[in-house]
Structure 1
Amino acid sequence: MGKHKSVSYSTGWSNPIRVSVSARPKAELSYGNVDVPIGGSVTLTCSVNPSSSTWKYFWYRGVKTSEPLTTQDDVILSNGQIRVSQGGAYWCRGGRGDPVYYTDYSDSISINKIVANKAVVTLEPNWSEIYRGETFTLRCEISDGGDTEWDYEWITASSDKPSEQSEYIVGSASTHHSGKYWCKGKMKNEKSSTDWSDSITLTVYNKPKPVVKVSPSWPNPGDLVTLSCEVEHPSAGWRFYWYKAVPKPSDNYLYSYQLLPGSSNGTEEDSYIVHGHTHTAGYACRAGRGDPVFYTEYSKPKFFWSGDFHASASLKVSPDRVQHFYYDSVSLICGGNSTSWRVMRFTKDGDLSYCFSWGTMTGSTCKIYSYTQSDAVYWCESGSGEFSNTVTKLSW
């Protein structure tokens, strides 16, 4: 028999397929809210770019090396999403194939669980209207906080933000402390916090200057005179301090102030009774509150005039007549046991000034002209602190 030759066969080449090898993708984690409300949950979403229906998603809480979360771990899983009700740090990654090929982990997100404890902002002292220079303390208090250790977070509409402490102490208030303040507590070593407190509004005003009033302005000798003290932006906590105005002709200041009897610790009442005065006198007040005491400015002094004609200081008018003519010059002459004098004027508009503003003071005499005057009363003050009891209303 003859030998057969063996024959080999092959197919043609297949169409080519392109395989692209990319770097390992990194999962991306997105979220809408990081605070879990009381009794609620928040939703996190995991994705891989480029997306594919073949990806499965694995979720982690606490540390990346832990086992993936399951529905038994107080979470609800769906394709690429998870609903969580516990606080903590969360990661995700994608995986596919068998054996599973994993993407890189996503960046982590810290979820904060809101607890039932209530945060409250309190202010000490307990008045919301504060003045420049006053001391105040804001506190973040946690109701039913028990033995839990807390950190604190503040937000404010003011330009000065408190640090992460339970107290915010300001030794000298400024206008930039004005605004709304909120706080919340965060449990130490846990991703849980209270909800934000209700806000408290703080308004810082410029230091007030009170107004003292005298009634009556023209008492008969021996009458009782009532002083009252009014503070702008009325608020709680004030005590009132009452002073006699003492002339200081040789000083740049018009008056010094001496505390009246019974006023060293202030009075709760905003009024004060002056007993038994028979001569002209000036009075002032100021208010104070807090510890240490924050004082307002002194009020402008207010005067009452009494007709005691036996005073050691006096005021005479020259020429001494009831009616003066327009463009007349009039001399107001101070007399008494002093070498230093000034003549004061108090207008019906409440303007207090002395002679050099509207006349010429030479020694004990103030020379004035009718065209410089307004409806006012005049008196003398001595260098030894005396007021003249002859007060003159001049008319032209």
Structure 2
Amino acid sequence: TVPNKAVVTLQPNWSEIYRGETITLRCEIKDGGDTDWEYEWRTTNSEKPLNQNELSIRSVSASHSGVYRCKGRKKSEKSSTDWSDPFKLTVSDKPRPVLNVSPSWLSAGASVTLNCSVEDQSAGWRFYWYKAAPIQLDDNYSYELLPGSSGGTEQDSYIVHGQTHTAGYVCRAGRGDPVYYTYHSQPKFVWTGDFHSSVSLTVSPDKAQHFISDSMSLKCKGNSGEWRVMRLATDSHLSNCSSWGTMIGSTCSLETVRSSYAVYWCESESGEFSNAVNITIQYTHIILQSPAHPVTEGDSVSLNCYLRREVIESSVFFYHNDKLIQNDTRLELDISAVSKSDEGFYKCQYSRKESAPSWMSVQAVSRPKSSSVPVLLIVGLVCGIVLVIPLLVLFCYRASNGENFYFCN
């Protein structure tokens, strides 16, 4: 036996190895110098390494898991090293990263932050970011790389600026050369309740809370010929209407609503998403009937506290963002002209029974931008008279204070 020590090393030296990666196990002789060595391997699995100093595995699998040992023998002599210490190789299943989005509900034009997390986060991963587009034949999505992420990013976060519509996002990670990719993450969504002209979802009856025995229909509107209505429940289970309702044309009908809480939206065959709605299903005897869709500034709104089997005998309490705003025997809270300050969570309470809170979204009134056409007409009327003078050069100036006044000379 020679005093040199044999050691099994792993390249790349990552703490976790996943199915499908390319790895190399190497037998290194410490202080081996220029000696010409022969090598011998032992494993606890079915792998039969050749008598070489390297064992390269192009696509590692669970069958390669086990303990590896090696030793070196001098070709010119019969002496050899001791067996190396055991090296344990564990091959794990291909990972699926987890994507989180913030915020999950949009204010128009807000920035959305995506965060992608992988097991062993620091082990050489680069992150790839995608926007999800519906595939109408099933519940799957196609993925389109977001700008600047074709080569992956070192950062595990990505910011989408100016998002205005409901959208789905996906991430995955890659490392090594050639690049080894994880699975794609499950799609995560950022929603908006605002209507858009291309595609929209309406709920009938228009209320955010329902009793468990209620029926409900969801109708998709837009220029698409094919639709699917999607639901994401609190257990993160994503499914379409065919799993829990009846889809006829552009309408999904539910005879009995069962999911205690879910977000619903429409997806078109052209890859567009509609507004989204929160629906809460109550198993108790009290609900707050509030609009499932955004209300417009200036509109009148009535929020109703609905009791299934009881007669009102005492005060009903209405809360806005947990602040008491009405306390009498009326079952409704009337707002004659809604403003943006009325947006928020509402709930009602009666006889120690409390409804679930519902978010009421208030949509600002769109005001048309000032047009330059009237200004041009005024300029033409005021200065056009002078144009009848032959060979006159006309100069027009805008007022220095930026107002829409023009002077001609």
Equivalent position to 1:177, from 56, 59, 64: 64
Aligned pair 1:360/2:249, yes or no? no
Give the drift of 1:323.
Answer: 4.6
Aligned equivalent of 2:83: 196
Instruction: Note the C-alpha offset of 1:390.
Output: 4.0
Pairwise mapping of residues 1-396 of structure 1 onto structure 2 (< 5 A)? 114-232=1-119, 234=121, 236-249=123-136, 251-396=137-282
- Residues 175 and 168 (structure 1 numbering): CA distance in 2 closer, same or farther, change over 3 Å? same
Distance 2:9 2:58 in 1: 17
How far did 1:326 drift? 4.3
Q: Which moved more, 1:272-281 or 1:142-151?
A: 142-151
* Equivalent-residue separation in structure 1 for 2:111 and 2:58 (angstroms): 42
Name the stretch that deviates more: 304-313 or 121-130.
Answer: 304-313
Give the letter aligned to residue 341 of structure 1. Answer: W
Separation in 2, partners of 1:324, 1:218 = 21
* Structure-2 separation of matches of 1:369 and 1:232: 42
1:181, distance to aligned residue in structure 2 (A): 1.6
1:371 shift after superposition: 3.9
CA-to-partner distance for each residue in 1:316-373, whole Å, 9 max, x for gaps?
1123245545433211000011101000000111111100000011111100133433
Two-structure CA RMSD over aligned residues (Å)? 1.8
Residue equivalent to 2:303: none
Query: Letter of the aligned partner of 1:122 in structure 2?
Result: T
> Which residue in 1 is equivalent to 2:301?
none
Using the size of structure 2 for normalisation, the TM-score is 0.66
Q: Which amino acid aligns with 1:334?
A: C
- Which runs of no fewer than 5 residues in structure 2 stay unpaired? 283-409
Distance 1:157 1:233, change over 3 A: farther
Note the alpha carbon deviations across 1:17-66, whole angstroms, 9 max, x for none: xxxxxxxxxxxxxxxxxxxxxxxxxxxxxxxxxxxxxxxxxxxxxxxxxx
Bigger mean CA offset, 338-347 vs 218-227: 218-227
CA contact (8 A) 1:154 1:164 kept: yes
**Are 1:229 and 1:240, in contact at CA under 8 Å, matched by a contact in 2?**
yes
Output the CA distance in 2 between the equivalents of 1:138 and 1:200: 10
Distance 1:237 1:170 in 2: 19
The CA deviation at 1:140 is 0.8
Paired residue type of 1:384: S
Q: Secondary structure at the match of 2:164?
A: coil
- How far 1:143 moved relative to its partner? 2.7
Residue type matched to 1:336 in 2? Answer: G
CA distance, structure 2, for counterparts of residue 259 and residue 228 of structure 1 = 15
Distance in 2, matches of 1:122 and 1:219, equals 50
Specify the alignment match of 2:351 in structure 1.
none
- Which runs of at least 4 in structure 1 moved beyond 6 Å after TM superposition? none
The Cα of 1:270 is off from its aligned counterpart by: 1.3
Query: Residues 199 and 221 of structure 2 are in contact (CA less than 8 Å); yes or no, is this contact kept in structure 1?
Result: yes
Query: Any idea what SS the aligned residue of 1:209 has?
Result: coil
Gaps (5+ residues) in structure 1? 1-113
Shift of 1:235: 5.8
- What SS is found at the alignment partner of 2:274? coil
Task: Give the number of the structure whose alpha-carbon radius of gyration is greater.
Answer: 1
CA contact (8 A) 1:379 1:392 kept: no
Secondary structure in 1 matching 2:123: coil
Q: Deviations over 1:145-182 (max 9, x none)?
A: 23321110112233323221111011111112112222
Identity %: 66
Q: 1:252, CA displacement in angstroms?
A: 3.1
Aligned-pair CA distance for 1:234: 4.6
Query: Aligned AA for 2:70?
Result: C
Query: Separation in 1 of the partners of 2:183 and 2:252?
Result: 31
Bigger drift between 296-305 and 219-228 goes to 219-228
